[in-house]
Amino acid sequence: MHIEKYQAYQPVNLPDRTWPSKIIDHAPTWCSVDLRDGNQALIDPMDSARKHRMFKTLVEMGFKEIEVGFPSASDTDFNFVREIIEGGLIPDDVTIQVLTQAREHLIERTIESLMGAKSVIVHLYNSTSELQRRVVFQQDREGVKQIAVEGAKMVKDRLARLEDAGTKVRLQYSPESFTGTELDYALEVCEAVMDVWQPTPENPVIINLPSTVEMSTPNIYADQIEWMHRHFTRRDAIILSVHPHNDRGTGVAATELAVMAGADRVEGTLFGNGERTGNVDIVTLGLNLFTQGVDPELDFSNINELMETAEYCNQLPIHPRHPYAGELVHTAFSGSHQDAINKGMQAIRKSNDPHWEVPYLPIDPQDIGRDYEAIIRVNSQSGKGGVAYLLETDYKIKLPKAAQADFSQVVQKITDATGKEINSETIWSTFQDEYIAQKDAPYELVSFSSKPIEGSNEREHITAIVDHIGKKHTIEADGNGPISAFVNGLRTEFGLNFRLKDYTEHTRSVGSRAEAAAYIELTVPDEKGRSVFGVGIDTSITMAPIRAVMSAVNRI
């Protein structure tokens, strides 16, 4: 690997930086660039139908600023801007934004696309980095500054046309490839553009400082933003915006630190679609705020719908491990995580505390329109807690702890053998085979009745018919209750040696049926002194434990 081809990014000399101790306590102004930067990175750019769906979704989510395209790039882009203006599809509180290079015919076409709009942002850019000055523009600092200044003048000259037609216009300038630009030079170019546009605190300009290519650790980007924030001569006439990309995989972190460093506004896309590794992901940024108790001012309550829109419009899949949204991000397969989630969910159900505190789940899936169905899935990495959680959630079976371990071993044998996930339905049918249906089991309960023994204190007499390998046995026995009487009768009739160790029972409402589920633990005094579990389900609370005893005896 030719490491000598690369050089370290130079840090900013800002020893009195203030951003590390800042806290983000409100959402920045969001601007979606899905329809422009996101769109220009697609294999097949969005057609009109895809653009309309994206725009509608962005509006419904609550975006107030939406970059709707690069109208001079193509008829598709131009026509879409016309369609949303002429079709009255832009709500009064939403401002559309369009991008243009600093070239006259492109600016002309851009302005033409906007005629009749209520409120627009005209976004002018040119690249200012040392590399692009040298290889793309082949101009010195002054030459590239003049591209910006001339572009700014061209835009300004045409503004009257828009304003006379009743359009409210805000101007935006981006020194593209800012992260490859010397800070003093970026400042000089931005100030030169502002000299042309003459912004005021009442009518501020948007200065957008993009990490067109993310080149450094996020702290350096934050230093750059704070440096600019502190050096602008007319900071009060600027809305300071950032437009981060994700080349190093730290776009979200860089954006958060940039906001701490003074940025008022963030441009990004849904799920981070965009050039190369993407624009910064506004869904992650917004939900990061949400999970800190800060209102993101965007609606993420139906994340599945947002994903469907993004996947349809971009024709790109969203990764199953994408923060907050991915299909697998609320799911635990591993045993210790499942155990902790199971306990956390139980604690939440019992508690009156409104705060969400479930281990391994930073967000309540229901807050973004997901249900709890997927939070636990079982494979060979899972433990008893996961299996117990699924049985309880999906089938209202609350296995006692010792029985959880017993059944988990049954499931583990299957997952080890298949090497695959086992779903809830298969767990349930395995549970029924093991404890309830017990095909080919030696003992089968044919009938059972019990009655109190007169004059005795709570003692019961039972009569049961049990089929043992095709032969019916009638059992008559007494005990301190029906369970103990049945246990006594079985031991005597079949010469079995076991003791009743534990018994629990609960009601189980599945749909309209009210049933009881009973769990029996027997001890068998063989060389291991092992425990054997049985489960019984019945509409009668007397019969459920009797069936559970039969189930356990069959498993001896």
Ligand X SMILES: CC(C)C(=O)C(=O)O
Determine the interface stretch with ligand ACO among 66-74, 286-294, 372-380, 391-399 (rule: CB under 6 A): 66-74
Residue 137 contact partner, candidates ligand ACO, ligand X, none, CB within 5 to 8 A by sort of partner: ligand ACO
Q: Which of 46, 84, 90, 102 binds ligand ACO (CB under 6 A)?
A: 102
CB of 109 to ligand ACO, least distance (A): 9
Q: What is the dihedral of CA 130, 135, 136, 140, to 10 degrees?
A: 50
Q: What single letter denotes the amino acid at residue 24?
A: I
Residue 3 CB coordination number (10 Å): 5
User: Which residue, 410, 432, 420, is CA-closest to 377?
Assistant: 420
Rounded Cα–Cα distance for residues 41 and 246 (Å): 13
Residue 240 contact partner, candidates ligand ACO, ligand X, none, CB within 5 to 8 A by sort of partner: none
Binding to ligand X (CB under 6 A): which residues in 76-135? 99, 125
Q: Give the CA distances from residue 205 to residues 37, 219, 240, 274, 350, in Å, rounded to whole numbers and listed in that order.
A: 21, 26, 9, 25, 52
Site string for ligand X, 333-362 (x = CB under 6 A): ------------------------------
Q: Which of 30, 80, 125, 486 binds ligand ACO (CB under 6 A)?
A: 125
Q: What is the token pair recorded at 305?
A: 């719908």
- Burial label for 102, CB within 10 Å (0-12, 13-18, 19+), is buried
Residue 243 lies near ligand X (rule: CB under 6 A): yes
Residue closer to ligand X by CB (options 50, 265) is 265
Residue closer to ligand X by CB (options 212, 380) is 212
Residue 221 contact partner, candidates ligand ACO, ligand X, none, CB within 5 to 8 A by sort of partner: none
Residue 338 contact partner, candidates ligand ACO, ligand X, none, CB within 5 to 8 A by sort of partner: none
CB of 276 to ligand ACO, least distance (A): 10
Strand, helix or coil for residue 535: strand
227 half-sphere exposure, CB direction, 13 A CA radius: 20
Determine the interface stretch with ligand ACO among 42-50, 67-75, 376-384, 472-480 (rule: CB under 6 A): 67-75
Residue 37 lies near ligand X (rule: CB under 6 A): yes
Residue 39 lies near ligand ACO (rule: CB under 6 A): no
Residue closer to ligand ACO by CB (options 74, 429) is 74
Residue 176 lies near ligand X (rule: CB under 6 A): yes
Residue 53 lies near ligand ACO (rule: CB under 6 A): no
- Classify the C-alpha dihedral 145-74-172-222 as positive or negative: negative
Cα angle 62, 293, 238; round to 5: 55
Q: Would you put residue 125 in left (φ > 0), alpha (ψ -120 to 50) or beta?
A: beta
CB of 29 to ligand ACO, least distance (A): 20
Helices 141-164 & 104-114, crossing angle to 10 degrees?
A: 30
| 400: phi then psi, degrees, rounded to nearest 5 | -60, 155
How far, in whole angstroms, is CA 387 from its chain's centroid? 24
Q: Are 411 and 389 in contact (CB under 8 A)?
A: no
> What is the total count of residues that contact ligand ACO (CB under 6 A)?
16
Rounded Cα–Cα distance for residues 194 and 149 (Å): 9
CB of 433 to ligand ACO, least distance (A): 60
Which residues contribute to the site for ligand ACO (CB under 6 A)? Answer: 37, 40, 70, 72-73, 101-103, 106, 125-126, 136-137, 147, 176, 212
Which residues contribute to the site for ligand X (CB under 6 A)? Answer: 37, 99, 125, 174, 176, 208, 210, 212, 243, 245
